[in-house]
């Protein structure tokens, strides 16, 4: 039976570390600041933003939330980003995606100051991740790496399979596993014999966005299974990309949904905001 990786507990440890360092920085007259921009009325996005605001309060990070209507123009959004770029008390800028139709996400991402890009979506930061010389990591892949470290799961030499090739999760996840000396295969909708490739994985990361897509037959016994999915099953119940009940008995480690990767994502955003504040103020840390 697989060991359940408790994302809530690991996330709480990360937040405690962030809170401790924020307290130290405040004592030195520095308060890390995060600005979150939300455009439109997507219900999931509003929930995420509320959770981010709450996490900032919990750890002592100063935060501002800007809510624009779905009718906001590209010019209005770009002007807001530029104004936040110019403000020294704002260390991190996060524009909640997806944006409403008609708005150019790439242009917005490109407009964010590189040193305030706490989502690590700017092409220059993506390039730094590629070569292994980075300040920020995308929050979800960073959270997964933190979970693997916490559980002392060794990546070196392991066969790692990432199912999904998004810019937000799949591609950076593959890079981080590669930097940790894993042997990485990225699968996607055009992959032939997907099940056969998944069965070779010592570490399997599912980030495909399809409920219960990874079945027991696709998982090698004793594999580590990381589920990035946030889906709804046929009964409307929250579930992941992995058929948890079927896979859990044969996995060595597995993340649940909810309570697995999800909590880690916001905690790593806090960590990135702290990193940005360090960069802006020339602060070093023992960690």
Q: Are residues 220 and 162 in the same domain?
A: yes
From first to last of its 287 residues, the chain has per-residue pLDDT tens of 779 999 999 999 999 999 999 999 999 999 999 999 999 988 888 888 899 999 999 999 999 999 999 999 999 999 999 999 999 999 999 999 989 999 999 999 999 999 999 999 999 999 999 999 999 999 999 999 999 999 999 999 999 999 999 999 999 999 999 999 999 999 998 999 999 999 999 999 999 999 999 999 999 999 999 999 999 988 889 999 999 999 999 999 999 999 999 999 999 999 999 999 999 999 875 44
Q: Is residue 135 marked as binding?
A: no
pTM: 0.94
Long-range contacts of 154-157 (CB under 8 A, 24+ apart): 155/180, 155/181, 155/182, 155/203, 156/180, 156/181, 156/182, 157/181, 157/182, 157/183
Instruction: Give domain status of residue 166, yes or no.
Output: yes
CA distance 40 to 75: 15
- The residue from 91, 96, 116, 271 that is catalytic is 96
Determine which one of 91, 117, 119, 243 is catalytic: 119
User: Which residue among the candidates 52, 158, 171, 212 is catalytic per the annotation?
Assistant: 52
pLDDT at 287: 42
Has residue 221 been placed in a domain?
A: yes
d(CA 206, CA 239): 12
**Is position 6 within any domain?**
no
Q: Is 31 helix (H, G, I), strand (E, B) or coil?
A: coil
User: Within a domain: residue 70?
Assistant: yes
Kindly list the distances between the CA atom of residue 59 and the CA atoms of 117, 142, 277, in Å, as whole numbers in the listed order: 20, 19, 14
Residues 97 and 206 in one domain: no
Look at residue 241 and give its three-state secondary structure. Answer: coil
* Residues 94 and 144 both lie in one domain: no
Backbone angles phi, psi at 215, to 5 degrees: -100, 170
The verdict on 187 and 234 lying in the same domain is: yes
Q: Please check whether residues 86 and 155 belong to one and the same domain.
A: no
- Listing DSSP states for the chain in one string gives -PEEP-HHHHHHHHHHHHHHHHHHHHHTT---EEEEEEES--HHHHHHHHHHHHHHHHHT-EEEEEEE-TT--HHHHHHHHHHHHT-TT--EEEE-SSPPTTS-HHHHHHHS-GGGBTT--SHHHHHHHHHT--S---HHHHHHHHHHHHTT---TT-EEEEE---TTTHHHHHHHHHHTT-EEEEE-TT-TTHHHHHTT-SEEEE-S--TT-B-GGGS-TT-EEEE---EE-TTS-EE-SB-HHHHTTT-SEE--SSSSHHHHHHHHHHHHHHHHHHHHHT-----
Check whether 50 is labelled as a binding-site residue. no
Report the CATH number at residue 178. 3.40.50.720
The helix/strand/coil state of 162 is: strand
Residue at 267 is within a domain = no
Say whether both 150 and 248 belong to one domain.
yes
Does an H or E element contain 125, and which?
A: helix 123-131
Q: Tell me how far apart the alpha carbons of residues 46 and 132 are, in angstroms, rounded to a whole number.
A: 33
Q: What domain count does the chain have?
A: 2
Query: Does 164 show up as a binding residue in the annotation?
Result: yes
Catalytic annotation present for 119? yes
Q: Say whether 96 is catalytic.
A: yes
For residue 283, which of 12, 96, 7, 28 has the smallest C-alpha distance?
28
What CATH number is associated with residue 55?
3.40.50.10860
Domain assignment of residue 169, given as a range: 139-262
**Both 186 and 252 in a single domain?**
yes
Burial class (CB in 10 A: 0-12, 13-18, 19+), 175: buried
DSSP 3-state of 94 = strand
Structure token digits, residue 11? 């996330």
Q: Is residue 132 part of a domain?
A: no
245 and 147 assigned to the same domain: yes
Q: Does 257 share its domain with 143? A: yes
**Residue 89 and residue 151 share a domain:** no
């Amino acid at each position: 039976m697989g060991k359940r990786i408790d994302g809530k507990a690991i996330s709480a440890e990360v937040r405690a570390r962030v809170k401790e360092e924020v307290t130290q920085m405040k004592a030195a007259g520095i308060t890390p600041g995060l600005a979150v921009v939300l455009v439109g009325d997507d219900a999931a996005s509003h929930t995420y933003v509320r959770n981010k605001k709450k996490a900032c309060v919990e750890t002592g990070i100063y935060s501002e939330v800007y809510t624009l209507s779905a009718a906001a123009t590209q010019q209005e959004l770009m002007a807001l980003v530029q104004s936040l770029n110019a403000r020294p008390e704002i260390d991190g800028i996060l524009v909640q995606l997806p944006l409403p139709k008609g708005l150019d996400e790439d242009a917005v991402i490109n407009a964010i100051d590189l040193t305030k890009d706490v989502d690590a979506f700017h092409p220059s930061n993506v390039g730094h991740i590629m070569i292994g010389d980075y300040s920020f990591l995308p929050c979800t892949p960073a959270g997964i790496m933190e979970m693997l470290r916490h559980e002392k799961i060794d990546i070196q030499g392991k066969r790692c399979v990432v199912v999904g090739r998004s810019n937000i999760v799949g591609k950076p996840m593959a890079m981080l596993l590669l930097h940790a000396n894993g042997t990485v295969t990225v699968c996607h909708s055009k992959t032939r014999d997907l099940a056969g490739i998944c069965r070779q994985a010592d570490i399997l990361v599912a980030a495909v966005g399809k409920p219960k897509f990874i079945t027991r037959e696709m998982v090698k016994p004793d594999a580590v299974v990381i589920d990035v999915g946030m889906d709804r099953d046929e009964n409307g119940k929250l579930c992941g990309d992995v058929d948890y009940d079927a896979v859990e008995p044969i996995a060595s480690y597995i993340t649940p949904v909810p309570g697995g990767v999800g909590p880690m994502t916001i905690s790593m955003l806090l960590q990135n905001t702290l990193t940005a504040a360090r960069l802006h103020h020339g602060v070093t840390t023992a960690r």
